[in-house]
Amino acid sequence: MMGAETVAAQPLRGGALLLAAALCLAGLVRREKQREAPLVPLDLLRVRSFRLSVVASVLCFTGQMAAAVALPFYLQHGLGQDIVTAGLFLVPWPLATAVAAPIAGRLSDRVGTGWLCAVGGLLLAAGLALAAVWPLGQDARPLLAFMVMCGFGFGLFQTPNNRNMLLTVPKTRSGAAGGMQGTARLVGQTAGAVLMTVLFSLLSGPETAPRLGLALAAALTLAGGLTSLLRVPPRGAAEAVEAVEAPAPGR
């Protein structure tokens, strides 16, 4: 974070901090690979479906956080909304996520999680893309519909993706899978905040950085949805992990 904040104004210092961060990450990976009970369960990434879920989670949470940072600036400085109105414009997103999450949980019992995550990621990307390019002018009301689209897509993605992470590993490693799930979320959120920090440092204008941030967020969430499609078995076969690991009805 410190490197991203300073790299535009002080390239040498910012670059050195980012390089140090990369070296520390490489050292952590090397250290954890040699441990029987690693702090970061890198061995779980050998499971293809789990690995794809982690990648998709990082991408979608990066886009989600970039949008969460960009939207208030866009509403207040680009569209001239006051603080309260800007907050009200953001409310439909979490409400739609709350509605979509239980629906996605029920659908996960009938539809492959890869398909659900792909549809959710595509819906989230569409909402962000529309928010970035739609000519709102003095009427910001269409943004409410885009926020509903984003929230519903995010809820449709998150629940099945988390389910897949927990069901693709042995039950004895469920704690490690949950830890990796939280790590993927935080890595994505941090990356999204860093992305917007860099854009605000490099670009001027009340709309330029927020709208570009929303466009990049749309691209990232689209990539997350497409990554989820790689988990879809060929010829419509049921996902092996759900056939093996899913709990019996009523349990």
Is the domain of 28 the same as that of 108? no
Domain that residue 180 falls in:
43-245
Tokens of 133: 């390019």
Mean pLDDT, residues 59-73 = 95
pLDDT at 242: 41
**More confident call, 23 vs 237:** 23
Is the domain of 203 the same as that of 100? yes
Same domain, residue pair 143 and 239: yes
% of residues, the chain, pLDDT over 90 = 56
- CB contact at 8 A, 174 and 183: no
pLDDT in tens, 165-207: 988 888 888 888 999 999 999 999 999 998 998 888 888 777 8
Whether residue 241 is predicted with pLDDT greater than 50 in this model: the reply is no
Same domain for 74 and 105, yes or no, is yes
172 assigned to some structural domain? yes
* 132-to-70, 76, 146, 166, 216 alpha-carbon distances in Å: 10, 15, 10, 34, 9
190 located within any domain: yes
pLDDT band for 236, please (50, 70, 90 cuts).
Answer: very low
**Global pTM?**
0.83
Same-domain pairing of 103 and 34? no
Same domain, 130 and 86: yes
Shared-domain flag, residues 6 and 61: no
Nearest to 222 by CA among 107, 47, 96, 67: 67
